[in-house]
Structure 1
């Protein structure tokens, strides 16, 4: 027979063990929520963490993000773990209504039930914030949720990530993160007229709707957007916001700031391992170059020498950790030319990360350069050194000079 003292000691031990498990679950849930980049959409500027209200722009209208705090009336207070898993896995709210794919359930469906439960436990532990939803501004007929039934039938493949027994544990972890929580294809893919991702080939790059930045192809193989990158380059960019191949700018800077810099070293290595195995791509079909491309590039070289060479070097190789190279830089050579135009006009601002808390920035030149000058210098850097990308025109610059979706 156990004595009363022994029973009491056992109860204390069990309680302590249970508390430790709960803390571990919350820690894991916080990590998963962070690397899933939930805060970027579900935290409004100057708003409370995860209380929603940030507007997600789409080509069909704007959708305010919902409140993920445990407020009973306006958040997840009445939701169960089953409800939360249903949202991630099936793209349906706790009342069964179909969610719009501005919420990336098309990727989150890959998340395991265990990870979903950990994320939900963490969200339930946050301070409850009352923040009622505001109506979306979707145009007719896109606001009709009944249309989602057809969209889901055509474009949504429900199911958790299936581990590939032919691949290593590290590769499978990387694939799980990229395809699921990381939801990388939501940006790094082109979309059809119905807003659905083009998934073949996977992670092949595309223009981010409304934000008007080009998310590059992520293949590291021949003709891929990251051709010539090493796994160490990928890890460095995701962890620090910069690598020997370039810096994270535009929407990717926010992803690094709020999400990827917090990945563990093992998870960063797993992502790089997976991306390394993406298949080679067919050569990108560049837009036709202007007849006077050589003349334009010659004029651009003069602009470059005056405004750019001091930092990026006459050889385009940049200067150490301070200024990124332009030779072979995927942001320079991506097919559309829009990223280089945006950076020249609006400046380039890498994220401040734990590894690089005070990164160098590039000033905007919108007030300094005419459309002709900006087109000339962008054309020059897309043609110079080893770069062989298409030209851009003054009309291209004009089109993006006042484009929304700033850096």
Structure 2
């Protein structure tokens, strides 16, 4: 069934449900937020600046080459393209007429000041976890920015997704403004803080949790890895899976990746590189360690199975091996171990052995850099091979690295390569 038929079927089943949905009182995670009870204006703004960086708010609300937080950044999704709105205090186009209560309701209930429902492309299903203290600090920081008189760009959505009233149907099934994940019997302060950041402001689940055909997160598979809809990137599992997740990572490995973009088992790339460059590298060590404590507590769960092709044929492996020796071994090594910190390992790399081959294919086609950070100020880059290698060659070399040096991921098919190539054009 196509998306439109499925949505209309859901709509028919939901008519009665929508009329009975009422927004009950919310509750926040009982998490330490490490902020004094009373702050002067300057302290509150500085804390808001820190939180805005940690959540990489600028990433969705700044167009390439545009004024910071003035909106206009495109977000491609399976339902169309959304554009981040203006968050500066401009009274006509931004938050100039908003109150702190308005901002709080947007974060926790996904509602604009006039009561209209916000599309969940704005990640209020995650921001519902943010405390009022932190929400007020964020708002104070945004109100301190210079106003930018830049009009908000309308979203470009196809029917029926351009019918905003259908958001009420979606919410009836998939959204409650509550935070109900159970905690351990005696959780540590670090675990509570880590959960608060991972599930809330850092909104890790928005990329790393599988979604259904209507874009709702599968909460029974939280942080289990997912293709990022509308993009050619795969967000790997952050759970305890020892092959495709963080099971064999140490807490320090996780902190290093968030702080510097590089770790012994992988380097940040694509959207994660942007999150590190613009956000996580500025986080304090205590917060990064708390996030690592929480992530290391997560058990392994079922992961996405985007790649379905089987083992590569001997002929494909032979071609891939020759291409690897010619183009890749100089940096990543004949043994796939790489040379840290310049070039990441390919053996055991969670982006290489992921359920989806998209990240590896993307890097071969387009190349890229690890993020520039204080801990890695001059990252080495990988050149693009998309113009040099045809689709069959890309499938061969990526299949080779996914099935060498102990890697046991699936082979890569021509349709997979063609789909990614089309997405990155």
TM-score, normalized by length of structure 2?
0.87
User: Which residue does the alignment assign to 1:279?
Assistant: 299
Task: Tell me, in whole angstroms, the C-alpha distance in 2 between the residues paired with 1:259 and 1:225.
Answer: 22
Structure 1 runs of 4+ aligned residues shifted over 6 Å read none
Q: Does 1:289 align with 2:313?
A: no
Name the SS for the 1:328 alignment partner: coil
Aligned residue for 1:403? 423
Q: Does structure 1 residue 123 correspond to structure 2 residue 142? A: yes
Alpha-carbon distance in structure 2 between the residues aligned to 1:69 and 1:252: 25
Contact between 2:205 and 2:222, CA under 8 Å: does it hold in 1?
Answer: yes
Structure-2 residue corresponding to 1:251: 271
CA contact (8 A) 1:111 1:160 kept: no
Q: How far has the Cα of 1:98 moved from its partner?
A: 0.3
Shift of 1:162: 7.3
Check the 8 A contact 1:30/1:122 in 2, yes or no.
Answer: yes
Is the CA contact (8 Å cut-off) linking 1:240 and 1:261 kept in structure 2? yes
Shift of 1:266: 0.2
* Equivalent position of 2:15 in the other structure: none
Distance in 2, Cα, partners of 1:70 & 1:163: 38
Q: Is the 8 A contact 1:223 1:283 kept in 2?
A: no
Distance between the aligned counterparts of 2:112 and 2:182, measured in 1? 27
**Cα separation, partners in 2 of 1:20 and 1:208, compared to 1, 3 Å:** closer
Question: What root-mean-square deviation, in Å, do the aligned CA atoms of Structure 1 and Structure 2 show?
Answer: 1.9
Q: Which residue of 2 aligns with 1:62?
A: 81
- Please give the per-residue CA displacement for 1:305-348, whole angstroms capped at 9, x wherever unaligned: 11111110111101121111000001111112111111111113
Provide the rounded CA distance (Å) in 1 between the counterparts of 2:101 and 2:181. Answer: 20
1:37 maps to 2:50: no
Q: 1:93 aligns with which of 109, 112, 133?
A: 112
Structure 2 residue aligned with 1:269: 289
Looking at structure 2, the residues matched to 207 and 341 of structure 1 have their Cα atoms a distance apart, in angstroms, of 13
Indicate the residue corresponding to 2:209 in structure 1.
189
In the other structure, the counterpart of 1:205 is 225
CA deviations over 1:82-126 (Å, ceiling 9, x no partner): 000000010001111000011000000000011000100111111
1:312 to 326, 332, 350: 332
Could you tell me whether the CA contact under 8 Å between 1:224 and 1:280 is conserved in 2?
A: no
How many residue pairs are counted as aligned between the two chains? 387
Indicate the residue corresponding to 2:23 in structure 1.
none
Name the stretch that deviates more: 80-89 or 392-401.
392-401
Q: Report if aligned partners of 2:232, 2:362 keep a CA contact under 8 Å in 1.
A: no
Q: Indicate conservation of the 8 Å contact 2:332/2:344, yes or no.
A: yes
The secondary structure found in structure 1 opposite 2:351 is helix
Q: Residue 176 of structure 2 corresponds to which residue in structure 1?
A: 157
Find the residue that maps to 2:310 and give its secondary structure: coil
Question: Are positions 1:137 and 2:161 aligned together?
Answer: no
Q: What is the CA distance between 1:166 and its match in structure 2?
A: 2.2
Distance in 2 (CA, whole Å) between partners of 1:130 and 1:249 is: 33
Query: Equivalent residue of 1:140, what SS?
Result: coil
Q: Which consecutive residues of structure 1, in runs of 5 or more, have no partner in the other structure?
A: 1-18
CA 1:284–1:93 in structure 2 vs 1: closer, same or farther (change >3 Å)? closer
For residues 139 and 321 of structure 1, what CA distance do their matches in structure 2 show?
A: 44
Preserved CA contact (<8 Å) 1:189 1:205: yes
Larger radius of gyration: 1
CA contact (8 A) 1:219 1:276 kept: yes
CA contact (8 A) 2:210 2:221 kept: no
Taking the aligned partners of 1:296 and 1:26, their CA distance within structure 2 comes to: 57
Q: Offset at 1:381?
A: 0.5
User: Do residues 343 (structure 1) and 366 (structure 2) align?
Assistant: no
TM-score, normalised on structure 1?
Answer: 0.91
Q: Distance in 2 between matches of 1:91 and 1:341?
A: 36
Deviation track 1:118-169 (CA, whole Å, cap 9, x = no partner) reads: 1001111111111112221111211112111111111112125778462100
Q: Which moved more, 1:90-99 or 1:157-166?
A: 157-166
Q: Report the Cα distance in structure 1 between the residues aligned to 2:153 and 2:346, rounded to whole angstroms.
A: 43
1:16 aligns with none
Deviates more, 1:219-228 or 1:68-77: 219-228
Q: Render the CA deviation track for 1:38-74: whole Å, top value 9, x for unaligned.
A: 1000111111111111122221111221111111111
Structure 1 SS opposite 2:75: strand
Name the SS for the 2:40 alignment partner: helix
Aligned to 1:330: 350
Q: Shift of the alpha carbon at 1:378?
A: 0.6
